[in-house]
Amino acid sequence: MKKGISIYIVEDDKLARTTYRHLFEEAEEIDVAGVFETAEECLESMKTVRADVILMDIGLPYMNGIEATKIIKKKFPKTKVIMLTSHDRTDEIFASISSGANAYALKDTDFPALLTAVKTAADSALWVDPRIAGVVLSIIPKPESTDLDKLYVKKKPKKTLNIKVSQQDIEILKLIQKGKTNREIGEILHISEHTVKAHVSKLLRKLSVTARVEAAVKAYEYNLF
């Protein structure tokens, strides 16, 4: 019998997967409806058994958690997704939020907080691990005016960068800005994921940044497209 909030756990690490399952099975108001090693298994199960909330590891084999979240939010919009990761990379946080994730938690988050995240997401509210709240705030655009009707009305700044970028560089930067993964960029531009990864690495060096989000922001600031 269902106890309350039904959840799926998608985690490729066996120990972590087993630990999450044990903890949530002991929690009140939670029903563990499925535990999976890959995103593909989760998506296949969702065709017949829907979960209210999915705990989704980002670094999964084959299809990663961000790609899976985009599919889930498109096909099953009522299902909430909590992204799980072992680090606080700005580009992954940005891409996760852009993909429609309802919560973002580090894997070493204590269980009471993770349980709160599940309940918050189930109530259609956003939950972010307090330790990465600063990162989330850093990617929110700053208002250009205190006028309530013109908070974000602005012209692109007239800045220039003394670097050469190709048309393909620009297309990749546009797609990064939209939160696309390397695989998605490759499919759109009809090039391999490996080639995309190489282009992105070169772009980061050209723009003197270390993260994809920073590259997209800098490209906008300097009128690269």
Express each pLDDT in 147-170 by its tens digit: 777 777 655 555 566 677 788 888
Residue 42, SS3? helix
Give the model's pLDDT for residue 145: 73
Q: Are 51 and 7 in contact (CB under 8 A)?
A: yes
Same domain membership, residue 91 and residue 24 = yes
Of 138, 155, 182, which residue constitutes the final position of a domain? Answer: 138
DSSP string, 95-143: HHHHHT-SEEEETT--HHHHHHHHHHHHTT--EE-GGGHHHHHHTSPPP
Residue ranges making up the domain that contains 192: 144-225
- Domain CATH code at residue 86: 3.40.50.2300
Same domain membership, residue 48 and residue 73 = yes
Strand residue runs (E) in 43-96: 53-57, 80-85
- Domain CATH code at residue 174: 1.10.10.10
Same domain membership, residue 19 and residue 119 = yes
Kindly give, in sequence order, each residue whose CB lies less than 8 Å from that of residue 107, ignoring residues fewer than 6 positions away.
16, 84, 85, 86
Kindly give, in sequence order, each residue whose CB lies less than 8 Å from that of residue 21, ignoring residues fewer than 6 positions away.
9, 32, 35
Same domain membership, residue 173 and residue 100 = no
Same domain membership, residue 105 and residue 34 = yes
Same domain membership, residue 158 and residue 125 = no
Same domain membership, residue 69 and residue 157 = no
Antiparallel, parallel or unpaired: β 103-106 and 80-85: parallel
Mean pLDDT, residues 83-109: 84
Q: What mean pLDDT value characterizes the chain?
A: 84
Task: Give the integer Cα–Cα distance in Å for 118 and 121.
Answer: 5
Query: Which of 62-71, 80-89, 176-185, 192-201 is least confident?
Result: 176-185
Same domain membership, residue 125 and residue 17 = yes
Same domain membership, residue 104 and residue 215 = no
